[in-house]
Structure 1
Amino acid sequence: MAEELFALLTEAKTVYLQEVKIHGKQYRRYVEDFVNSHRYIDCDNAVCRNCHEMNIHIVKGLLTDCPNLIQPLFSAPSLSFEECIELKRKYDTSELASSDCNPAKFSFLSFDCSLSRKQLAGIVSCANTYHLFCSPVTIDDMESLFSCKIGFCLRVNSVRRVAILFDALLENSFIQPYWQSVLERGRFLQSKDGSHFISATSISTTLSLVRNKMTSTAYNIRKFVSQLKE
């Protein structure tokens, strides 16, 4: 298992240098393409397939959550087996949760959206009309949120209404399906009392409840977002 992990990371290093460093490919896109192109192996043995699946999961986690550890290693002249084992150890321990690996520090988080100032103004109007956040928001706030500005966060007055807003933005193709993960990893939403950041699980659970019981406010928020295309 360790040997295959080393082989995958070595190949990931080669692809990184070629596609990201030389050709300027977006880091996030590089990670997605590398992982998706290495998901399967030509082997019917269940043990081998399970080990490969585990290794791909580890590689994806390292590339996604700790690029500050990965990129210096990948930019070095060589990558040793021992360095890979040490990287795996850090991935498996609490060291991963340290500030050095805080995903909020990484600029490649993105909703992949291109909202105009007019559309952002519409979102601001919707958010303030239905009191989505604890304080009134501005266009600058929305620009910071949708551009994934590092360290930026908003205190949420209603997780339910925020979930409806983002779900409606997805439904109208303004953002991409992984928006819940971006919100969690970037720590862009804080609870009403400021005690914690809103998780993707919390948003997903809330959204399921909302979809099963739509309120007039939910309909109005969705209508507000649909009109942004006009």
Structure 2
Amino acid sequence: MQINGANVLVTGANRGLGRQFASSLVERGAAKVYATARRPELIDVPGVIPVRLDVTDAGSVAAAAVAAPDVDILINNAGISTGANLITGDLAAVRSELDTHFYGTLNVIRAFAPQLAGGAILNVLSAISWLAVDGAGAYHAAKAAEWALTNSARLELAAQGTLVTGLHLGAADTDMMAWYDGDKAAPAVIVAAALDGIEAGHAEVLADTWSAQVKAWLSQDPAVVYREAALALSALAG
């Protein structure tokens, strides 16, 4: 799968990683970049085609699939972070995270799958797909569900030749992570790793050292993992 000459749709392209995806795709020679957002008037990347899309609204998703009928690569980037925990947090916020990350991503994949034969899907996941963090219980549960969705979609779409790639990362220097004072990767670095991964046909991209470390912890006892994670996070926070 080559970026140059491809038609690509990016969800949540008005800021953060989504905006960087749209910009980098233009730079890499994509033929068309459909940059989507709930408020497309906020998209300010030159050379893209703005499209209105709310991934949690079935009608909006269907309309976007009609507006962009020739997509080769779908990048599911749209996301939220409510800061809600599962036990004490607002249940509406928990549902909102699942509606966005799991059901929203699924809505978009189902709508665009017919035109992605021989193409590719990239789901923007997180190291938190694998590691719970206090203050992000809803985000962890939603991203874990999206990881499972990514793996199932890969199997279901294999027969039509669609590559499905999961992108995992730790902290990126975006608006969503503005509160975090630790080390943060530049969005351009994360996006470059993701696009290189698509072109290389990789099923999974670990975009930074932290996501690689968390993935490596999966085979260990949870008591060990969370002790080591607490120490590592404390060191990263300085």
TM-score normalised by length of structure 1: 0.28
Larger helix proportion, structure 1 or 2?
A: 1
Larger strand proportion, structure 1 or 2?
A: 2
TM-score normalised by length of structure 2: 0.28
